Chain A
Amino acid sequence: EAGVAQSPRYKIIEKRQSVAFWCNPISGHATLYWYQQILGQGPKLLIQFQNNGVVDDSQLPKDRFSAERLKGVDSTLKIQPAKLEDSAVYLCASSLSGGGYTFGSGTRLTVV
């Protein structure tokens, strides 16, 4: 089966600019997650979708981050405006309900 697809692979932006990341989960996986991984740390959950509804966004900085999952398939994560501390790898994962995760390759964001 195809894996979790993410794009772009790398992105460099200036602070206060906006950026968007895209994720296509494994076909049939109802649950989709966005994680932020800062260098040297474990991933931190930003938001979880079940189909196209938000299950948990308690750790999403909603003043600058937004996410959507249209038609319960693809998802986009947006940051506007970006700050220096947003430099990280943004990982998308999907799972069958209650099952193991499959992660995408991630998008490495550098904010300068």
Chain B
Amino acid sequence: GIQVEQSPPDLILQEGANSTLRCNFSDSVNNLQWFHQNPWGQLINLFYIPSGTKQNGRLSATTVATERYSLLYISSSQTTDSGVYFCAVPSGGGADGLTFGKGTHLIIQP
């Protein structure tokens, strides 16, 4: 099946810093989603981004489908950005189920 690799696995930053999270995937996909899992376990959909660039406030994402990677940018980090960031792509076989990466664990220190 499709493989999803995220880097870095862990990231500790000071409040106000910027960060870039990367997601590589092993096969062609027709969509990609980024999620944030907060410290209470809730998974929030950040972006549905099959290709191109999208922005939502301090967050933006870029997917280069032809090169099989996506980047999530977080600018001016806040402590509420802490948590685990997952990217996920369709598992294949015609269904919409997703294969998730192992996530990037982000800690923003005040």
Contacts and interface: CB of A to CB of B under 8 A. Distances in A.
A90 to B, nearest CB: 11
Interface residues of A, number: 25
Interface string B30-70: 01010100000111110010000000000000000000000
B93 interface: yes
Contacts of B101: 42
Contact of A41 (B41, B48, B93, B102): B102
Interface of A: 31, 33, 41-45, 48, 55-56, 58, 89, 91, 93, 95, 97-103, 105-106, 108
B86 interface: yes
Contacts of B102: 41-42
Contacts of A31: 96
